[in-house]
């Protein structure tokens, strides 16, 4: 009986630790941010406007030529979508429930960024990241509530 209860209890400290490892900047950039920016970089290479990341500004991709129309939209979507895909897939592969939740929280932030970033007026405001972080913690609260309700 005790083992069943222990399996249903989430390690909140562990979840927050793994969430922070993915999202808190170390030396100016986080793992999630780099994956996000590499999504933009890969898109710029595929669409042939060849962006690059400056070593002094690791949180931005600088296109050699500025894309327009659908290419610009795809460029802005690609960062958040790669973050969503990478962390979403990681959350399906892990054996630790807490790590999976931390990965899903980071995936949620990427998805919200993908939705918000193509909107020019919101792009540099930080609204996407703020909404993503809030929704990530709403998801965490949902998981905690769901686990507690099974007791």
Q: Which domain holds residue 45?
A: 2-149
Beta bridge mates, 146: none
Q: What share of the chain is helix, strand, coil (3-state, %, to 5)?
A: 70, 10, 20
Residue 4 has pLDDT above 50, yes or no: no
Residue 100 has pLDDT above 50, yes or no: yes
Residue 2: how many other CB atoms lie within 10 Å: 6
Q: How many domains, the chain?
A: 1
On whether the pTM is more than 0.85, the answer is: yes
In tens, the pLDDT along 121-145 reads 787 778 888 999 999 999 999 999 9
How wide is the angle at C-alpha 6 spanned by C-alphas 20 and 96, nearest 5°?
Answer: 40
């Amino acid at each position: 009986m005790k083992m069943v209860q222990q399996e249903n209890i989430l390690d909140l400290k562990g979840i927050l630790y793994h969430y922070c490892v993915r999202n808190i900047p170390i030396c100016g950039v986080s793992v999630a941010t780099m994956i996000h920016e590499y999504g933009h970089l890969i898109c710029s290479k595929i669409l042939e406007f060849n962006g690059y990341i400056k070593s002094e500004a690791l949180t931005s991709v600088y296109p050699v030529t500025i894309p327009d129309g659908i290419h610009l939209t795809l460029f802005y979507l690609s960062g958040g979508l790669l973050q969503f895909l990478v962390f979403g897939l990681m959350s399906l592969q892990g054996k630790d429930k807490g790590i999976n939740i931390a990965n899903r929280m980071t995936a949620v932030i990427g998805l919200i960024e993908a939705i918000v970033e193509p909107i020019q007026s919101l792009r540099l405001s930080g609204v996407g990241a703020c909404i993503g972080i809030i929704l990530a913690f709403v998801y965490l609260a949902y998981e905690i509530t769901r686990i507690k309700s099974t007791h």
